[in-house]
Structure 1
Amino acid sequence: MTQITLALPFALPPSELAPDLHRALELPALAALLSRTASERRETIDSGARALPYETWLSHTLGLTGAAPAAQGASLAEQSAPLAAAALAGFGAAPTDGHWFIVHPIHVQMARTHLTLADPRQLRLDEAEARALYESARPYFEELGKPLVYGDATTWFMRADDWQGLRTASPDCVTGMNLSDWMPEGEHAIAARKLQNEIQMLWYEHPVNEARQARGLPPVNSFWLWGGASGGQPSSAPAVVAGQPWLRAISPAPLRDATFDTLLAKGGSHPMAVLGQLIEPAIAGEWAAWLDHMRALEQQWFAPLLAALRDGRISRATLVLSHRHTSASYTTSKLAQHKFWRKPTLNKLST
Structure 2
Amino acid sequence: MTQITLALPFALPPSELAPDLHRALELPALAALLSRTAAESRETIDTGARALPYEAWLARSLGLHDGAPTTHGASPVEQSAPLAAAVLAGFGTAPAEGHWFIVHPVHVQMARTHLTLADQRQLRLDETESRALYESARPYFEELGKPLVYGDANTWFMRADDWHGLRTASPDCVTGMNLSDWMPEGEHAIAARKLQNEIQMLWYEHPVNEARQARGLPPVNSFWLWGGATSGQPSTGPAVIAGQPWLRAICPPALRDVSLDTLLAQGGTHPMAVLGQLIEPAIAGEWASWLDHMRQLEQQWFAPLLAALHSGRVSRITLVLSHRHTSASYTTSKLAQRKFWRKPSLTKLST
Aligned to 2:74: 75
Tell me if structure 1 keeps the 8 A contact 2:59–2:68. no
Match of 2:113, SS?
A: coil
* One-letter amino acid of the counterpart of residue 18, structure 2: A
Task: Extract structure 1 runs of 4+ deviating beyond 2 A.
Answer: 66-70, 72-79
C-alpha distance after superposition, 1:188-219 (max 9, x if no partner)? 00000000000000000000000000000000
> For residues 40-94 of structure 1, what are the alpha-carbon distances to aligned partners after superposition, in whole Å with 9 as ceiling and x for unaligned?
0001111000000000000000000179845x46527432100000000000002
Query: Corresponding residue for 2:230?
Result: 230
Q: Using the alignment, how far apart are the partners of 1:224 and 1:6 within structure 2? A: 28
Q: Secondary structure at the match of 2:300?
A: helix
Extract unaligned runs of 5+ from structure 1.
none
Per-residue deviation, 1:236: 2.8
Q: Which amino acid aligns with 2:74?
A: S
* Alpha-carbon distance in 1 for matches of 2:181, 2:146: 25
The 5 A counterparts of 1:1-351 are 1-65=1-65, 69-70=69-70, 72=71, 74-75=73-74, 77=76, 78-351=78-351
Q: Measure the CA separation in 2 of the matches of 1:243 and 1:79.
A: 21
2 CA distance for matches of 1:109 and 1:73? 35
Identity in percent:
86
How far residue 235 of structure 1 moved from its aligned partner, in angstroms, is: 1.8
Q: TM-score, normalised on structure 1?
A: 0.98
Q: Deviations over 1:84-122 (max 9, x none)?
A: 000000000021411000000000000000000000110
Task: Look up the equivalent residue of 2:265 and give its one-letter code.
Answer: A
Q: Deviations over 1:268-287 (max 9, x none)?
A: 11000000000000000000
C-alpha distance in 1, partners of 2:263/2:195?
42
The CA deviation at 1:258 is 1.2
For the 8 Å contact 1:53–1:76, the answer to whether it is kept is no
Distance in 2 (alpha carbons) for counterparts of 1:276 and 1:249: 13
8 Å contact from structure 2 (residues 67, 79) kept in 1: no
Give the aligned residue type for 1:75: A
3-state SS of paired residue (2:5): strand
Q: Distance in 1 between matches of 2:209 and 2:116?
A: 19
Cα distance change, pair 211–67 in 1 and its aligned pair in 2 (3 A): closer
TM-score (norm. length: structure 2): 0.98
Unmatched segments (≥5 aa) in structure 2:
none
Give the direction of change, closer, same or farther, for the CA distance of 1:201–1:223 in structure 2 (3 Å limit). Answer: same
1:67 to 1:198, Cα distance in 2 relative to 1, 3 A: closer
- State the shift of 1:233 in Å: 1.2
Contact 2:56–2:69 (CA under 8 A) maintained in structure 1: no
Amino acid at match of 2:253: A
Q: Distance in 2 between matches of 1:69 and 1:81?
A: 9
Please tell me the root mean square deviation across aligned C-alpha atoms, in Å.
Answer: 1.2
Q: Distance in 2 between matches of 1:285 and 1:193?
A: 30
Distance 2:349 2:185 in 1: 34
**Partners of 2:50 and 2:80 within 8 A in 1:** yes
Deviation at 1:223, TM superposition (A): 0.1
CA distance in 2, matches of 1:73, 1:121: 31
Give CA-to-partner distance per residue, 1:312-331, whole Å, 9 cap, x none.
01110000000001000000
State the SS of the aligned residue for 2:318: strand
Match of 2:278, SS state, is helix
Distance 1:32 1:273 in 2: 20
Q: Secondary structure at the match of 2:277?
A: helix
Could you give the per-residue CA deviations for residues 291-340 of structure 1, whole angstroms, max 9, x where no partner exists? 00000000010011101100001110000000001000000000001111
> Aligned pairs, how many?
350
- C-alpha distance in structure 2 between counterparts of 1:76 and 1:15, whole Å: 23
Q: Distance in 1 between matches of 2:170 and 2:311?
A: 40
Which segment is superposed worse, 58-67 or 97-106? 58-67
Kindly indicate whether the alpha-carbon contact (under 8 Å) linking 1:56 and 1:76 is maintained by their aligned counterparts in 2.
no
